[in-house]
Structure 1
Amino acid sequence: MTDKKVLFVSSEMVPYLPENEVSSMAYESPRMVNDRGGQIRIFMPRFGNINERRHQLHEVIRLSGMNLVVNDMDMPLIIKVASIPKERIQVYFIDNEEYFKRKATFSDEEGNLFPDNDERAIFFAKGIVETVKKLNWSPDIIHVHGWMASLVPLYLKKYYADEPLFAESKIVTSVYNKDFDGTLDKEMINKVRFDGIPEEEIDVLEEPNYSNLLKVAINNSDAVIVASDGIPEDLNDHISKLDKPVLPFISIYEFEEAYAQFYDTKVLN
């Protein structure tokens, strides 16, 4: 992995949010690349329940200030950054007062999904790409973790298809066990279509449930990692029919060599 550039995008990550399969692997996989001499960038949402003072988040003025259009609305993009000192790893946070100020991640105290989760996912995807463009940093691999990051492959392959910075980038999506029940806003497909993305690319978003969001990510990725021991059966079936590299599930305690080899021999070749 020496000198390879890997962009990690995750819905959540330790130590900023509680430990689970996604947040743990979103931390361990960039740490592994970093330890092996790779160059990394990490992006996640700046949810309101992240303690900015404890983790020493601060705004990056030169990267903030642009507006992103989501469903015909201008939404200001704020970029914050923090470091994980013991690993010498820096994390970029995508922030917006309207979408990420509330003191929770994906759902309210009663467990109901926030009604604007679809728009948050669109904003997150666009915010990452626009920020990486400002950094002028061309990744060899873009590795996506978690359902709120599931639109990143779609937007890279369709909305930003002519962006030369990502022309050689390979996209990897990690697929985890089901993360939420129900669906996001049924208008999600129209909000994505507003960005000029062809309907045939997103027809499964007529029913924007967990599996269909991940199918959109998988379809627009160059390789897939099964990151949970059990994933929804329809996603298993979808992955089994793919004509692209797939890495079967490997425990977080044994993943390092397997992921490094997968990157080197399957994703980059």
Structure 2
Amino acid sequence: MKEKYSQLFSNVKEIQPLVHHMTNYVTVNDCANITIAIGASPIMADEIAEMEEFVNISQALVLNIGTINERVLKSMLVAGKIANKKNVPVILDPVGVGASQFRNQALERLLDCVQFSCIKGNVSEIRFLAGLSSKTRGVDADIRDEMTSEDLANMAKKLAEKLESVIVITGVVDTVADCENVYLIKNGHEKLSSISGTGCMSASLLGAFIGANPSERVLSSVLAITSMGIAGEIASEKTRGNGSFKVALHDEISCLDIQTFNDRERIISL
């Protein structure tokens, strides 16, 4: 498996996939820079008149509903449909779903109109997608929604089969699943939840890895999420507060190599 990881990892550096983002304005700069740090190239555009041209030259499309509005939703729907037609992988980050009716309806329209290669969310967001009761604290997971690893794995597999997407659930232990495979990722550090944008940046890494390896959606998702976890661990060892940690996180993603990845990864295949 390490040889497989090595190939998928090196493909990002060699292909330098262009990842088209329609993401929230809180973290747009973080997403652009983390995409560059891993070796890919970002474009951040949400004007509907540009969608066809930008999707045509992209290797992945990331849709993040963190600051969704009607204008951007229309652009997302257009871009998503074009991406499906062009076989460009689409990654969905359903930030804060469950917090408002507009956000919930926007997500429903996206799911109805666009086929997603990967959907990433925290446990509260994924529970909502799975039709289970969920709490919300804005864009953060609610501690009351915590589940066992076994329950998370079962939920992810069922949702993956229903939506024909790779499902990524972030948390203390991250879960990545399709309808056949489940991976638990035990890398990471609590400081990753102390700064804004780490979830959004993880979606960017998913875009980079899946964009470079579109036929390996599950393992690419595992590599993306594990890379963020490893970078968070190393950054936490070198810093004290939130500000320096955020800078160090970008540093560690940009310096991450496959040797460090293989030495530190804690991935369990169920």
Instruction: Name the TM-score, length of structure 1 as normaliser.
Output: 0.42
Higher helix share: 2
Instruction: Name the TM-score, length of structure 2 as normaliser.
Output: 0.42
The answer to which structure, 1 or 2, has the higher relative contact order (CA under 8 A, 6+ apart) is 2
Higher strand share: 1
